[in-house]
Structure 1
C-alpha cells in the first residue's frame, strides 16, 4: 500500500454405515408400501425462545423515553451504557438540529447545535477512554457535503474539532466505521481517480496531519487491523501484514464478514432462507436460524458471541408493529427473545437498542450485552 499525505478531495453437502447393501435394499422393499402410504410428519413450530429477563436477569437494561424533557423527539445514536446516551433532537423551532448527551436522569447537555438547513448528520460514534468521538456532515449551499471529526469529554467541556481533512468518507452504519489504534483514529474514504481504490485515513486523536494509505479495491474497516471487502467475493486484508484471507462460501450467499465470523444466507428448497455463521477459513459452520429470520445488524457476531436477528412477530407483536428481536448466543447455542415488536434496531460498542411504539408514543429500550 502506498502511504502519502493526501489533500482532501473536492469531493463511497454418505454412504450408509457398515451394513450389507442387499440387506438395505430388501429392507427398503419390505417397507416401501408403508413409506408410500405414510405422509411425512409435518415439522412443528419452533419452540418459543426464553425471554431475556429469564436468561440474563443480571444484564443491564433500561427504558428510555422517546422525547427529551422539553418535548423534542429524541433519536439515540450511541449508548455509553444502558442509560446514558448521545443522540439527535430537532430544536423547538425546527430550525436547528442538536447533538446532545443525555444523562441517566434525563438531563441533557448540548454538544453541537447546527442549522437544520445544512442537513446535519451525525455518525460513526466511538468512545475512546472518557471521550466521545463522532463524524459530522453538513451540506453547503452549493450541494457539497463536508465531513468533520469531533471529540468531547464525557464529563463536560466544549467539544473540539479533530480534523476536516476526511476525504469522501465511506461509513456503512457499522460499529467499525471509525476505529482507534495506538492513539490514532482510522476511517475509510473513496479514493479519487478512475480506478476503484480505498483510502485508509488516520489522524491523532488530538488532531494534526492526516495520513492516507491507498489500497486498490473496495474495502471497509473491521476490527483493527482488518479491512473487509463488501462484495460477495469476500476477502479480509490485514493492513499491518498485508495478509489476505479469501472466504469460501460453498455456493451459499455470503453476507458480511469480520475477522472471526462470516454470515451466510442459504436458500432452502422446502423452507425459508436460513442464516448460518462460518469462520473466515471455512471451518465451524453454525446454523443459527432457518425460520426466515434476518440479521438485524451490519456487523457479524458482536463481541464475538452474539448474533442479533429479527423474525416475523406474533399476532400481538404484529398489532403493535415491528418484529421479534432475538439474540443468538454462540456460547450456549440458543436464541433469547429480547422484544416482541421491535423497530429501529441499532448496536454500538456492546449496547443493543431498539424502539417500540404504543398509543402513538415512541420509546427506546436497551440491553448492554457486555453485562450478560
Structure 2
C-alpha cells in the first residue's frame, strides 16, 4: 500500500468510509494554537540523510524497497535494454551489485524485502506464484529459493510483513474461513510450520501479532506468539486503533469533523494528543523505533500537487518535526524513512535514517 493510500485508509476509516485508497478529506488548516513544527535541520542536525535519483546512470529506472542506511538501498532496477528486472544493492556512490534478475514481463517481482545481519530475505512473484528467497548482503551467499510453500501471503506494507527471528523467516497468510495462518521456515529451508488463529491477524515486532487487519475499527488484541499471552488494546466508538507492542495509535474525528490522532501504551496509559486537522498516518507501522510517529498533513499546495507535508512526532520530547513540505510515495523500513519530491516526470527519493537522530 502506498503512503497516499494509507493516508486515505486512516482518515476514511473513521466511519466516513472504510475503503483504502479512496478520496482524501480536505478542509481546515492545522488547529489554532498548535505549535509550528521544527525544521529537520534544527531538530536533528546530525541525522544521516541521503538522496537517490529515480534513474540509473544507464537510464534504467530504479525503485528502492529497503534502505540499509541513508545512502545504501536495495531495490528493483530495469536493465538498459528493458528486458529484465534486477534486484540490486545500490551504494551511496551509485555503484550496483546484482542479487537476482528475472524477465521484465513479471511486474513488481520483488517484494517484502527484509534484512537481518548479513541476510536479505524477499518474496518473489513469478507467473502468479510466490516464493521466498534469500541472499547474503556481502556477496558471500548467492540468491536461492528458501521455499515455495508460502500459502496466501498477507502483505500490509509493514516492515513486519516478513520477520527474521530465531533463525527463521515468519509471515502471515490467509487461512480457510475466518482464519490466519502464522507460517515460518528455517533460513536454510526445509518444512514450513503452520499455526492457525481465528481472525484477521498480522505480524508486529516479533514475537507479537496484532488482530483487526481487515476491521474498520482496527485492532483489539495483541498476542505473543511465543507465550500465548493476549493483551487487549484501547478501543472507543468511532476510533480506529493500530498498535505495536509499545504504542497504540488512535485516530478519531474531533468535534469540528477533522482528524484527531492520539498515542497511548497498549494498557491505555500515557495517552496524549499528537495532532489534529487535515492529517493522517502514511505508513502502516505505529511509533517506529518506539519513538517516532510518521504523519502527513494536507495543505493548499497539496491540492495542486497531490503531495503532502511530511511530519514526525517525536515521543521523547513531544515535538513535531517538518521532514518535507512536499512529499509523496512515503515508505519506512527498519529505521529508515524515505519519500519522493518532484513530479512524475522528474523526482528524487530522499532518505532519513532515524536511528541516527
TM-score tier after normalising by the smaller chain length: 0.7 to 0.9
The corresponding residue for 1:304 is: 290
Corresponding residue SS for 2:65: strand
1:109 to 85, 89, 97: 97
Q: Does 1:330 align with 2:318?
A: no
The corresponding residue for 1:251 is: 237
2:70 to 76, 82, 85: 82
Query: 1:338 Cα deviation (Å)?
Result: 0.5
Supply the distance in 2 between the matched residues of 1:217 and 1:331 (Cα, whole angstroms).
34
The corresponding residue for 1:185 is: 169
Supply the distance in 2 between the matched residues of 1:349 and 1:210 (Cα, whole angstroms).
25
The corresponding residue for 2:125 is: 137
Supply the distance in 2 between the matched residues of 1:271 and 1:164 (Cα, whole angstroms).
47
Comparing 327-336 with 68-77, which one deviates more in the overlay?
Answer: 68-77
Deviant stretches of 4+, over 2 Å:
43-48, 89-96, 116-121, 317-321
Q: Does 1:343 align with 2:335?
A: no
Supply the distance in 1 between the matched residues of 2:149 and 2:354 (Cα, whole angstroms).
34
Q: Does 1:93 align with 2:81?
A: yes
The corresponding residue for 1:23 is: none
CA RMSD of aligned residues (A): 1.9
Contact map agreement 2:329 2:340 (CA 8 A) in 1: yes
Query: 1:221 Cα deviation (Å)?
Result: 0.5
Gap regions ≥5 residues in structure 2: 1-30
Corresponding residue SS for 1:117: coil
Contact map agreement 2:234 2:248 (CA 8 A) in 1: no
Supply the distance in 1 between the matched residues of 2:184 and 2:71 (Cα, whole angstroms).
31
TM-score scaled by length of structure 2: 0.85
Contact map agreement 1:63 1:366 (CA 8 A) in 2: yes
Report 1 or 2 for greater relative contact order, CA contacts < 8 Å, sequence distance ≥ 6. Answer: 2
Supply the distance in 2 between the matched residues of 1:321 and 1:53 (Cα, whole angstroms).
25
The corresponding residue for 1:208 is: 190
Query: 1:259 Cα deviation (Å)?
Result: 1.1
TM-score scaled by length of structure 1: 0.82
Supply the distance in 1 between the matched residues of 2:305 and 2:226 (Cα, whole angstroms).
49
Contact map agreement 2:243 2:266 (CA 8 A) in 1: yes
The corresponding residue for 1:361 is: 346
Query: 1:351 Cα deviation (Å)?
Result: 0.2
Supply the distance in 1 between the matched residues of 2:292 and 2:354 (Cα, whole angstroms).
8
Q: Does 1:165 align with 2:153?
A: no
Query: 1:82 Cα deviation (Å)?
Result: 0.3
Aligned pair count? 322
Supply the distance in 1 between the matched residues of 2:306 and 2:153 (Cα, whole angstroms).
34
Corresponding residue SS for 1:54: helix
Corresponding residue SS for 1:356: strand
